[in-house]
Amino acid sequence: MTYEPLAYEFDVAHMIDAMVLMFGFQLLYQRRMQSVLRSFALQAVALAAAAAWQAHVQRAPHLYATAAIALVFKGMIVPFALNWLVVKLGIHRNVETALGIGPSMIVGVALVALSILLVLPVTGKATALTRESLALAMSVILLGMLMMITRHNAVTQVVGFMALENGLILAAVGAKGMPLVVEISIAFSVLVAMILFGIFFFQIRERFDSLDLRYLEYYRGDRQ
Amino acid sequence: MSAIVWQLLHALLMVGLAPLVTGIVRLAKSRLQGRRGPSPLQPYRDLYRLLQKEAIVADSASWLFRVAPYLIFTATWTGAAIVPAFTSDMTLVPAADLIALVAMLGVARFFTALAGMDVGTAFGGIGSSREMMIASLAEPAMLMMTFSLSLLAGTTAPAGIGAFVLKGGIHLDVSAGLALLSLLMVAIAENGRIPVDNPSTHLELTMVHEAMVLEYSGRHLALIEAAGMVRLLLYMTLIASIFAPWGIAQPDEPAVFAVTGLLLFLVKVVLMAVALAVFETSIAKMRVFRVADFLGGALLLALLATIFIYVSEAV
Amino acid sequence: MILGLLPQVAWILGFPLVGALVLALLPAWRWAAWGNVVISGGTLVAAAMLLGQPLPRPTRMFLIDPFNIYLVVLTAFVAFTTAIFSAAYISREAKAGQLDAKHLRFYHGMYQAFVFSMLLALTANNIGLMWVAVEAATLTTVLMVSLYRTRAAIEAAWKYFILCSVGIGMALFGTTLVYLAAQPVMGEGELAMAWSYLVIAAPGFQPDLLSLAFVFLLVGYGTKTGLAPLHAWLPDAHAEGPTPISAVLSGLLLNVALYALLRFKMIMAANGQSMLPGPLMIAMGLSSVSLAAFMLYRRGDIKRLFAYSSIEHMGIITFAFGIGGAVANFAGLMHMTMHSLTKSAIFFGVGIITQNAGTKHMDSIRGLTVSHPALGWAFLVAVLAIAGLPPMGIFMSEFLVVSSAFAREPLLTLPLAFGLMVGFGALLHRLQGLSFGEPLPMRGHAHPGFALSALALAPMFAHIALVLVAGLYLPAQLVDWFQRVAGLLG
C-alpha cells in the first residue's frame, strides 16, 4: 500500500533538504576547525530532521531509526570525537585551504548548477524522489567532494567525507520505500570509518608529527 | 483620491515610526545585555536635541558636505515611501519597483561616501572605502534576489510580489527561503548592524558607517541619523511586504482593511525589531575582511535561489 | 531460511565468517596460519560443490547463476592457494621479526573476513547487499595494507581508504538511482533491489535515470577496479601491503569490483534505450592500458611494477566488455580468469624474491635463474605469461580481445595494440634484468628450510600450470560456460 504525499509535504521535505545543503555551504565557509565541526554537526541534525520527516510522510517507521542514527552518531558522537582528537593531537586550529573561501563557494554554486542540469532531463512523472530532492542530494554529495579536495588537513578531509555520506543518506531516505539494509550499512560504515580514521590519525601523527596532508605526498613512492 | 491620502499617511508613518523602531531595538538589546536601557522614545529626544544645536562645518568642507544630509534623507525617505506597509493603494506604488529602490538607496549611499571623504580626514576615507566594498557585494546580491523573486512572481514591484504571495503563488519554496536568507544578510550589511558593523561603537578603526559621518553635527547629523533609522524601517517593511504580506490592503478593498493592515504592520515591525536585537546580541562582530566572505555568501545564496527555480517546476 | 539464504551459499559464506572469528581469537600465530589454510580449503570445497549441482532458484538476497558461479570457484581457489603461500611467507616474516603475534592474529582474521566479503559480493542478489560487501572488502584490505606501520604503508593505506571510500560513495549513489528507476515499475521494498528481478523489468525503467546511475556506478566501482584516471590508490596499496594481500587484491578484489559493474551493465543492456555503456568503458579501458603501459618503464620497485601491470590488464578486460558482443565478452571473462591466476602467481614469486633479497628495488636483484633456479625459472615463465606470450592463457584472451575489437571497431585496435606492445617491452626489459646476469648478494631473511620454501613455491607452480593448460586446451564445459555468460552480458 503506497501512500502519495501531499504538496505541502513535498515542500517541507525540500526545505529541510535545502537546509542540509546550506550547512554544506557553511562547511566550506569556515576558517576555524571547531566551526567546521560545529557546521558538520548541524548538517547531521538537519539530515536527521529530513529522515524523520520522510518517515512521517512515507509512513515508513524504519526511517525514524535512520534519523536517530544520524542524530546520535553524526550529530553528536562524531563531532565530539573529532573535537577530542583535534584537542588531543594539538592540530592547528585554522583550516588551510587549497582554494580560497570565495572561490570555493563559487565552485560550490557551480556544482549545484551542475547537479540541477544533470537532473533536469529526468522527468517528474511519478518518480520515487522528486527532481528537487535528487538535485539537492547530489549537490550535497558534490560539495562534500569539493571539501575533501580543497582542504589540506586530514580532519577536514574526514569531515568532507562524512558530508558526502550525508548526501548519500539524504538521497536514500528520500527514495520511497528503499529497504533498511542499505541504511543500516551506511550507518555501519560510518562507525567503522570513524574507528579507522581515529586509528589513522594516531598513526599519521605518530609518523609525521602533523596531520597536514602535504607531508604525506612526499612519500609518494613513484619517484624512483 | 484615497490613494494620495494613503500615500501621505504612509510617508509620515515611515518617518514618524522610524525612531521608535530604533528605540525598541536599543531597549531590547539593553535588556538582553542585563541593563535597564533607555526609553524607546529616546531617539525622538536625541533628534530634537540635535536639531536645536548649531551645525559646525569644517573649513575644508565643500558645498557637498552641507547638501549631502538633505539628499541622503530625501532619497531614503522616498524609498521608504514607495514600499507598501499596510496598504498598496498608494499613488507612487505603480511606479515603484525593487530596482528603483536599490537605485535610491544607492544614491543615498553615494552621497554619504562622498561626504565622508569630503573633509579629508583619514577616518572618513576608511569609512567610505569600507562602505563601498560592502555595497559592491550587497547590491548585486540584492539585485540577484530581485531577479529570483520576480521570476517567481512575474513582477519586480514589492506590491506585486506581495499580491502574488497573498494569492498563494509561493508557499514553502526553497527559492523563496534562500531569497529571504539573502535579503536578511543584505539588510544587516546595509544597515550597519552586527555582525557587519557595530552601530554603537566608539572605536573609529572598527567603524564603517559611523566613520563617514564623524564630522557632522547639529541639524546635519540629525538628518543623517534620521535617514539611518528610516532605512532600518524601510528594510523591515520590505521584508514584511514581500515575505509576510498578510494584512496589506489591496487597491480594491475597503478602507477598514488598511486599518487592520496598519495594526498588523505594527506587530510585524515590533517582532522584527526584537528579533534583530536577539540576533545582534547572540553573535559577535566579524573582522572587516570577513565581511566580503559574508556578502559573497549572500550573493551566492541569491544565485542559488535563482537556480533552484528551474528545478522546482515553478517556472 | 533467514534472509533467503540458500543452503549452498550458507556453506560458502559460513566457512570464512566463522573462520574470521576463530582466527581473530586464536592466540598462537603458528596455528593461525595453518588454520587459515584449512578454512580456505573448506571454502574451496563448498564452492566446488556448486559445480556439480543444478543451479538453485535465486532468492531476494542471494543468487547463484552462470555468471557468478565460476567467479566464486575462482575466488575460493585463489584464496586457498594464497593462504598456503601466506602461511609460508608470514612464518618467514615472523621469524625475521617483522611482524608480532598481535599483528598476525589481526592479519589472519582480516584475511578470512576479506574472503567472506568478496564471496558475499559475488553471491548477492540484492544490489544493496552487494554494495555492502564490496565496501567491507575495501575496509578489510585497508587495514591489512597498513600492517607494517611504516610511513609509506600509512600513506598508502590512507590514500587507498580515501579514494576508495569516495568511489564506494559514488557507487552507493548509483545504486540508489537504480532503485529510483526501478521503484515506479516494481513497487517499493526489496523486490526493486533484487538483481534477478531488475534485469527482467529493466525495459520499463526510465532511461535517463539509468544512464545517470551508470555513470556514478562506473566512477564508483571503476575506482575499485583500478581504472584510470581513478587508479591512484592501486600502486601504493600493492607496494606497501604484505605480498599475499597484493596477490588477493590484484587477483580477486579487482575482479569482484568489475563483476559488480558488469551486473549493472547487464541491467543497462536489458533496457535498450539508456546510454550505451560501451564507449565509456572502452575509453576508460584504453586510458588504463596506455597509462599503465608507459608507467611500467622507470619503475624501480618490483611490486609497483606489477601493480601497474594489473591496471593495464583490468583496462584490457574493461575494454573487452565495452566492445561487447559474444566474442569480446568471452575474451573478457577468460582474461579475468587468466589474469587472476597469473598475477597471483607473479606476486607469490615477488614475495619470495623480496624476502630473499631483502629489498624491493629491482636494480638490486639480478640473476635469479642462477641463484634460485626453481624460483627464477618459474618467475620467468609467469612474467612471460602476463606479458602475453603464447602458449599461455593470457595470450589467447588478449588475441581474442584484439581480434574482436578489430572486427567491430578497427580503429580502436591501434591504441590497444600499441599499449600492449609498450607494456610487453617494459616487462621483458625488467625481466631480463631480474632473471639473468650475475646474481647480486642477497641480504634478505634467512633460508627457511626446504619444506617452507617448497610450500611457498607450490602455489606458484600450480597457477602457472593451470594457465599453461588453459592456453593450450580449454575444457569444453568451461568454454560452454563462458559462452553462456557472454551471451547474457550483451
Q: What's the number of domains chain C is made of? A: 1
pLDDT at C376 over 70: yes
Quick one: angle between helices B218-243 and B174-190, nearest 10? 170
Average the pLDDT over C287-305 and give the result.
89
Q: From the list C139, C158, C361, which residue is nearest A216 (CB)? A: C158
Nearest to C319, CA basis, from C436, C227, C452: C227
Tell me the three state secondary structure of residue C448.
coil
Give C193's contacts in chain A (Cβ within 8 Å). Answer: 178-179, 181
Neighbouring chains of A at 3+ CB pairs within 8 Å? Answer: B, C
Region A15-32: mean pLDDT is 90
Minimal CA–CA distance to A40: which of A57, A20, A15, A65? A20
Low-confidence winner among A7-11, C206-210, C422-426 (lowest mean pLDDT): A7-11
At residue A222, does pLDDT exceed 70?
A: no
Is pLDDT of C52 > 60?
yes
- Cβ contact, residue pair B312, A132, below 8 Å: yes
Q: Where in chain B are the domains?
A: 2-314
Q: Would the pLDDT of C185 be above 80? A: yes
Residue C125 forms part of a structural domain: no
- The pLDDT tens digits for B165-210 are 888 766 667 888 889 999 999 999 999 888 888 888 878 777 888 8
Please judge whether A29 and B293 are an interchain contact, meaning their C-beta atoms are less than 8 angstroms apart: yes
pLDDT tens track for C421-452: 999 999 998 888 888 888 877 777 777 777 77
Q: Are A102 and B292 an interchain contact pair (Cβ–Cβ within 8 Å)?
A: yes
Could you tell me what percent of chain C has a pLDDT over 70? 99
Residues in B whose CB is inside 8 Å of some CB of A read 171-174, 177-178, 181, 292-293, 296-297, 300-301, 303-304, 307-308, 310-313
Give chain B's largest Cα–Cα span.
62
Q: Binning pLDDT at 50, 70 and 90, where does residue C65 land?
A: confident
Q: Are A178 and C179 in contact (CB under 8 A)?
A: yes
In a domain, C236, yes or no: no
- Averaged over C218-234, what is the pLDDT? 91
Q: Is a pLDDT exceeding 60 seen at residue C248?
A: yes
pLDDT of C127 over the 80 cut: yes
Residue A124: the pLDDT is 57
* Residue C459, domain extent: 278-490
Q: How is residue C226 annotated by DSSP?
A: T
Cell numbers for C421:
606492445
By Cβ distance, the residue of A105, A119, A136 closest to B296 is: A105
- Indicate the burial class of C2 (C-beta count within 10 angstroms; 0-12, 13-18, 19 or more): exposed
pLDDT of A2 above 60: no
Total beta-carbon pairs less than 8 A apart between chain A and chain C: 134
CA of B39 vs chain A CAs: smallest distance (Å): 38
Residue C14: per-residue pLDDT:
87
Rounded (10°) angle between helices B122-153 and B98-118: 180
Q: Nearest residue on chain B to A110, judged by CA atoms?
A: B304
Confidence of residue C312 (pLDDT cuts 50, 70, 90): very high
Give the C-alpha separation, A137 to A17, whole Å: 7
A119 to chain C: which residues are within 8 Å by CB?
A: 212
pLDDT, mean over chain C: 87
Given C165, C183, C298, which is nearest A177 (Cβ)? C183
Would you list the domain boundaries of chain A?
7-216
**Whole-angstrom distance, CA of residue A204 vs CA of residue C384:** 39
Classify burial at B100, counting beta carbons within 10 Å of its beta carbon; exposed 0-12, middle 13-18, buried 19 or more: middle
CB contact under 8 A, C162 and A138: no
Q: Do B297 and A25 touch (CB under 8 A)?
A: yes
- Phi (first) and psi of residue B154, to 5 degrees: 85, 10
A131/B173 CB distance under 8 A: no
Chains A and B touch (3+ CB pairs under 8 A): yes
pLDDT-flagged residues of chain B (< 50): 314-315
C126, C157, C177 ranked by CB distance to A181: nearest: C126
Check CB contact under 8 Å for A182 and C175.
Answer: yes
Place of cell 607452480: C461
Q: What pLDDT does C82 receive?
A: 93
**Is C290 inside a domain boundary?**
yes
Q: DSSP letter for B69, please.
A: H
pLDDT at position A213 over 70: no
* pLDDT tens digits for range C138-172: 888 888 888 887 778 888 888 888 888 888 889 98
What's residue A224's pLDDT?
Answer: 38
pLDDT in tens, A192-207: 666 666 666 666 666 5
pLDDT of residue C309: 93
